[in-house]
Amino acid sequence: MGDDSYLGLQGVDAGYGRTRVLQGIDLSIGKGEFVALLGSSGCGKTTLLRAIAGFALPERGVIRVGDRDVTRLPPDRRGMAMVFQSYALWPHMSVAGNIGYGLRLKGWKRPAIAARVAEIGALLGLDGLGGRRPAELSGGQRQRVALGRALAIDPDILLLDEPLSNLDARIRLSVRHEIRALQKRLGITTIHVTHDREEAMVMADRIVILDQGRIAQLGTPEAIYTRPESAFVAAFMGAENVVRLDVVSSGGRVDIAAGPLNRAASLRLDRPAPPSGPVEARFRSEQLQLRSLDDATTADVQGIELLGTIEVVVYPGGEWRHSVRIGGASVLVDAPEAIAPGTSVLVRVPVSGLFLFSAPTASPVGGSPASTDDTAPVREKLSA
């Protein structure tokens, strides 16, 4: 671990029976840092959290907290507390009883427990609810009780296993900011498992993206969003649209030959360029612009222009949303005016939102987006 590391994992492998879930995980987390583990279902993020907590023992590797090796320690000796996806509240206990449960196990006296429960209740906005049972609380209130139970024992590290997934969308938006504000106020080291990229972006200091049990990329939300290091990370962070192009690279300059899906272009990138040859060009729908096919204003174009045909047009409010067919795939583009289905158009992708990666040999021309948990057919997204 580095000098500024508080929680460190070195070469951690873990799994269940013969199934290997984590492979060679190296991770260093600073004291007071909020780190999100992000990935699609089955990528290993919950297993990694359970290995840190002590509920899943690694087959190989070392887990340290400060200067302590906790790899083989039971969960109650690691100085950690975990908030589960289901909250796991005792239904027969009151709010006060649930929050103070861990303190009772530690042998605290009743007056001390009552004082600590009152302190936590005030911190989380649960004043006046101490006598209620979980069934008498809203989803957001139950989430706060589960968080209060974890914080009551004053853990060194707080582990969150998708604690917001059972809340409705409106409440989830407010509670995520409450948790982040509380974490910063307390300065507690926090690791949060989620499959929601927006949740990870707004809550975490750094994001760990997992793919098939390995770390695909680690960095700040801005770095991962604007500088994805692989096609997988780019797709997971929203650049789900993909077309295949042929490029010639020289330093930071990329020349793109005209093809059946695109006009010729010459770009200067502020990131490493892929080797010359076929590439996957990935981009996000919200950064696209629609132009008529006879638009000749190319001198100021800092990006690529793709050739497409309007398939469907809807009006979700604000602007018109177009489904545009480019090769074998469809992309969504918003525009101030509706363009009739069947019209040939140009789709402009600015260089700031364009990510180029060497194409796999089997990559289709105008292929479909990479699969992620929140990927949906284009027509299901038209009214989103």
* Residue-level pLDDT at 59: 93
Helix axes 110-123, 139-152, angle to 10 degrees: 130
Residue 198 identity: E
Single out the residue of 86, 118, 121, 117 nearest to residue 102, CA to CA: 117
326 SS3 class = strand
Which residues neighbour 310 within 8 Å (Cβ) at sequence distance 6 or greater?
322, 323, 324, 325, 339, 340, 341, 342, 343, 345
Encoded tokens for 99: 């929050």
261 SS3 class = coil
171 SS3 class = helix
* Residue-level pLDDT at 375: 39
* Residue-level pLDDT at 297: 60
Domains (ranges, CATH) in the chain?
5-226 (3.40.50.300), 231-381 (2.40.50.140)
* Residue-level pLDDT at 139: 84
Q: What is the per-residue pLDDT across 99-155, written as a single tens digit (0 to 9) for each?
A: 999 999 889 999 999 999 999 988 888 888 899 999 998 888 888 898 899 999 999
Q: What is the per-residue pLDDT across 372-383, written as a single tens digit (0 to 9) for each?
A: 444 343 434 444
- As a whole number of angstroms, the distance between CA 304 and CA 263 comes to 7
* Residue-level pLDDT at 88: 83
* Residue-level pLDDT at 194: 92
- As a whole number of angstroms, the distance between CA 216 and CA 200 comes to 15
Single out the residue of 303, 319, 281 nearest to residue 332, CA to CA: 319
* Residue-level pLDDT at 301: 62
Strand partners, 305: 348
Q: pTM (2 decimals)?
A: 0.84
* Residue-level pLDDT at 370: 42
- As a whole number of angstroms, the distance between CA 94 and CA 114 comes to 13
Single out the residue of 144, 129, 97 nearest to residue 116, CA to CA: 97
* Residue-level pLDDT at 372: 41
**E-strand spans in the chain?**
5-16, 19-30, 34-38, 60-65, 68-69, 80-83, 157-161, 189-194, 206-211, 214-219, 241-250, 253-256, 265-268, 277-283, 289-292, 303-317, 319-326, 329-335, 344-350, 355-358
Backbone dihedral angles phi then psi of residue 151, each to the nearest 5 degrees:
-75, -25
* Residue-level pLDDT at 295: 65
Which residues neighbour 164 within 8 Å (Cβ) at sequence distance 6 or greater?
143, 172, 175, 176, 194, 196, 199
* Residue-level pLDDT at 346: 93
Q: Which residues of the chain have pLDDT under 50?
A: 1-2, 299, 363-365, 367-384
